[in-house]
Amino acid sequence: MSRKVIITVAPTGSIPTRKDNPNLPITAEEVAQETKRAYEAGACVVHLHARNPDTGEPTSDLEVFRAYLDAVRDACPIITQITTGGGATTLGLKAEDRLRPVEELQPDSASLNAGSMNFGRKLFPNTPDMMEAYAKRMKELGVMPEFEAYDLSMVQNVDYWIRRAGILDPPYQFSFVMGVMGGIPPTFKNLLALKESLPEGYTWQAIGIGRHQIPMGTMGVLLGGNLRVGFEDNVYLSKGVLAKSNAELVEKAARIIRELGLELATTEEARETLPLLNTA
Ligand code: ZN
């Protein structure tokens, strides 16, 4: 049986604006429609940030997050993931405020950033205390943490602070985020090193920023991983050509996966593959 590849879509993020791409979805309805189209094109996980519907600015407003999740859940049966990191750099949120939407809304999964770093010119604080507290709470809630590793050292952080401490039993899901200024550069050698640092049985995806989205994603797929596409990380379909929608980026990824002789996972297959904790 050939391996099934999981595509995650990150439709809006917290950094791009409509100046970068006028097709960026902002309201709950827009995000839900983009997610539905991405789902129909082959995505089975959606990674969500929230934005103020009037200004487009990133927001931590619980009711905006709630509206997004409600609209997405109504639109399609995609696996839902919300950020716990976006508000740290863009809004300067405190640790407990970053976790609040996860506690209140209980998505299938949430990002859990695996170490502190400089994110561009800003400090992105993710201390061992925060990692431990988030992992404990997500386990209690049955929400799968996706460990976001922006560098090789962050894989070690998860091993040391989470696995050895016995806070959460492996296997874990990882994202390798490559190409943020302050994080690991997006090269094939670096992705190979990240992949080889994980024990057998873990699931992972490659996230390349900007023009590295498709090259890193494709290499991730060739190495046995999954990939993420979407406007959060990249707004271009190809050099100088803005993507009309997130679905267009998902279609491109799906086309490459199929040309490589692999199949796309359905949402049901992804639910069986990912170490999801939801028992509901
Ligand atoms: Zn994000």
* Adjacent-strand bridge partners of 82: 48, 110
Q: Is residue 134 in some structural domain?
A: yes
Cα–Cα–Cα angle for 50, 253, 212, nearest 5°? 75
Q: Is residue 128 in some structural domain?
A: yes
Contact at 8 Å (CB) between 24 and 231? yes
Q: How far is the CA of 93 from the centre of ligand 1 (A)?
A: 15
Q: Is residue 177 in some structural domain?
A: yes
Cα–Cα distances in angstroms (integers) from residue 249 to residues 28, 178, 192, in the given order: 20, 18, 24
Q: How far is the CA of 83 from the centre of ligand 1 (A)?
A: 5
Model confidence over 205-250: pLDDT tens digits?
999 999 999 999 999 999 999 999 999 999 999 999 999 999 999 9
Res. 169 pLDDT band, cuts 50 70 90: very high
Q: How far is the CA of 166 from the centre of ligand 1 (A)?
A: 26
State residue 260's pLDDT score: 96
Q: What is the mean pLDDT of residues 125-152?
A: 97
Q: Is residue 278 in some structural domain?
A: no
Q: How far is the CA of 86 from the centre of ligand 1 (A)?
A: 6
b/e code 199-235 from CB counts within 10 Å (16+ = b): eeebbbbbbbbeebbbbbbbbbbeeebbbbbbbbbbb
Q: Is residue 280 in some structural domain?
A: no
State residue 97's pLDDT score: 92
C-alpha span between 237 and 180 (Å, rounded): 19
pLDDT at 118 over 60: yes
Res. 90 pLDDT band, cuts 50 70 90: confident
Q: How far is the CA of 234 from the centre of ligand 1 (A)?
A: 12
Residue ranges making up the domain that contains 263: 4-273
Q: Is residue 172 in some structural domain?
A: yes
Q: Is residue 118 in some structural domain?
A: yes
CB atoms within 10 A of CB 248: 17
Q: Based on the structure, what is the number of domains in the chain?
A: 1
State residue 279's pLDDT score: 54
The CATH number of whichever domain residue 80 belongs to comes to 3.20.20.70
Q: How far is the CA of 129 from the centre of ligand 1 (A)?
A: 21
pLDDT at 92 over 90: no
pTM beyond 0.95: yes
Q: Is residue 169 in some structural domain?
A: yes
Q: How far is the CA of 1 from the centre of ligand 1 (A)?
A: 32
Res. 278 pLDDT band, cuts 50 70 90: low
